[in-house]
Structure 1
Amino acid sequence: MIEKEYKLSGTNKKAIEKVLFDENLHYLHMVFNKGEGLPEHFSNSNVYMTVIRGRLSIGLDEQEIHEYEAGTLLKIPFQTKMNVRNVHDETLELIVVKAPAPKS
């Protein structure tokens, strides 16, 4: 078999799944309920964030918080301060791709 198969969970509970981590990219699946999110941090690579369901509330660097609905893809540059939250009742589900893969 040439291909390698990876599965995403179908959970509604908070999850940060490291689906694929190799030398080329990092592929993560994230699920957040209301009030959940990531600690504020700086991106360690170029980040491509796809909203699968729910609404993403995100603050980047010093700009105000913007909201993005399902079906939106964001491209976030390397070394951008990120504040990722779900402030809504609906579950937030994201796919996050980091490319190139962070070195550390």
Structure 2
Amino acid sequence: MVEQIFKLARGNEKAVEKVIFDENLHYLHMVFNKGEGLPEHFSNSNVYMTVVRGKLSIGLDDQNNHEYEAGSLLKIPFQTKMNVKNLHDETLELIVVKAPAPTK
């Protein structure tokens, strides 16, 4: 078999899965319920964030929070301060790709 197969968590339980973490890219799958999210941090690569379901509330650098619905794809530059949260009742599901893969 040539291809590799990866399975993503299904359901509504909180998850931060490092699906692919190699020298080319990092591919993460995240699920957050209301009030959950990531600690505030700076992006360590170019970040491509797809909202699969729910509504993302995100503050970037010194901007106020913006909200993005399912079907939105955000391109976030390297070294951007990020505050990722789910402030809504519906479960938030994200796919995050970091490319190129962070070196540190």
TM bucket (normalised to shorter chain) is over 0.9
Aligned to 1:74: 74
Looking at structure 1, the residues matched to 54 and 96 of structure 2 have their Cα atoms a distance apart, in angstroms, of 15
TM-score (norm 1): 0.99
Which ranges of structure 2 fall in alignment gaps of 5 or more residues? none
For each residue in 1:51-72, what CA deviation from the matched residue of structure 2 results, as whole angstroms up to 9, or x when unmatched? 0000000000001100000000
Between the two proteins, what is the percent identity of the paired residues?
A: 81
1:26-52 CA deviation, whole Å, 9 max, x = no partner?
Answer: 000000000000000000000000000
Residue equivalent to 1:49: 49
Q: Residue 33 in 1 paired to residue 38 in 2? A: no
Moved over 3 A (4+): none
For 2:28 and 2:71, the matched residues in 1 are separated by: 17
Q: CA RMSD in A?
A: 0.4
The number of aligned residues is 104
The runs of 5 or more residues in structure 1 that have no matched partner are none
User: Which amino acid is the alignment partner of residue 8 of structure 2?
Assistant: L
